[in-house]
Amino acid sequence: MSKPVFIGVDLTAGARPITCVILDAHRRVIARAEGDFDATLGAITAHESAVCAVDAPQGHNAGLMADPGYRARLGIPRGSKSYAGYRVCEYELRRRGIGLYNTPPDPTAAQAWMQTGWRFYAALRDAGFANWPGDSRRQVFEVHPHACYTVMLGRRPLRKTTLEGRLQRQLVLYRAGVDVPDPMLALQELTPHRLLLGDLSMDGRLYDHDALDAAAAAYTAWLAAHRPGEVTAVGDPDEGTIVVPAGELKDQYDKA
């Protein structure tokens, strides 16, 4: 029987590769790879026991946020149309200041990467992955890396496309016990000469933002398996939830 692994997937559509990070039970990075749909799926299904967190909508928009009765139960003012085109999980994060996509009510109007995500979930289910939580040796759930970093920091992170945003995210993972390089060591290697040359390469010590997103997803998968009281599934299970690495969410997350 193979040992369980904990997988994070940062999905894309088109020419950009999919990024996958796999952790073992000790939060060691045992794989970090880029590949196409089939290669990534093969890397995941090679493991007999796995919890997989995917950065893409797991479910379609069921129209719950457009239903007046449902909106009333959420305390949304009568007559308001705000968030009517969102899933409940997306609303719950956005109202707290965590920006993310919205899944349109018409699946055919969804962005290409979302439709790739639905195909990916379907392929995982065909391979025996069941929704988390459960008893299956293969489980899957939806995650949103920006939300992961936000709840771990207690505030919205710096932009992930900037050097400081990448350093911040990798430090969050490092301090959470994920076996990524200490980003402070990478920062110390930046000399005045390299800065003047514009050479900001980190010699492999600093992950790019796609790998950081996948690593945050993988850590959330690890946490869901080992410390389920320290994660929260946001949203309505009938429509699809987003799992974040916090046992309790704040009412509002402000900028750093």
* DSSP states along 123-153: HHHHTT-EESSSS-SEEEEEE-HHHHHHHHH
Amino acid at 48: E
Say if residues 231 and 134 touch (Cβ distance below 8 Å): no
How far does Cα 106 stand from its chain's mean position?
Answer: 23
Residue 13 is predicted with a pLDDT of 76
pLDDT at 12 > cutoff 80:
yes
Look up tokens 């997306």; give the residue.
90
Look up tokens 């089939």; give the residue.
38
| Better-predicted residue by pLDDT, 190 or 60 | 60
How far does Cα 252 stand from its chain's mean position?
Answer: 19
Residue 79 is predicted with a pLDDT of 84
* DSSP states along 73-105: HTTPPTT--TTTTS-HHHHHHHTTT-------S
- How far apart CA 9 and CA 37 sit, in angstroms, is 11
| Better-predicted residue by pLDDT, 195 or 148 | 148
Nearest to 131 by CA among 28, 231, 233: 233
How confident is the prediction for the chain on average, in pLDDT? 93
Could you give the angle at which helices 112-126 and 37-45 cross, rounded to 10 degrees?
30
Burial of 127: CB neighbours in 10 Å, binned 0-12, 13-18, 19+: middle
pLDDT at 183 > cutoff 70:
yes
Tokens of 176: 């959470």
As a 3-state breakdown, the chain gives helix, strand, coil percent values, each rounded to 5, of: 40, 20, 45
Say if residues 9 and 120 touch (Cβ distance below 8 Å): yes
Residue 17 is predicted with a pLDDT of 95
**β-pair type (50-55, 5-10):** parallel
Look up tokens 């990467």; give the residue.
113
How many other C-beta atoms lie within 10 A of the C-beta of residue 109?
11
Amino acid at 165: G
pLDDT digits (tens, 9 = 90+) for 105-119: 999 999 999 999 999
Nearest to 238 by CA among 102, 89, 108, 97: 89
pLDDT digits (tens, 9 = 90+) for 35-44: 999 999 999 9
Residue 1 is predicted with a pLDDT of 58
DSSP state of 64: G
23 bridge partner residues: 6, 29
Nearest to 82 by CA among 90, 253, 155: 90
pLDDT digits (tens, 9 = 90+) for 75-126: 998 888 899 999 999 999 999 999 999 999 999 999 999 999 999 999 999 9
pLDDT mean over 54-70: 95
Domains contained in the chain, CATH given: 5-60+105-179+209-244 (3.30.420)
Could you give the angle at which helices 163-175 and 145-153 cross, rounded to 10 degrees?
70
- How far apart CA 152 and CA 216 sit, in angstroms, is 10
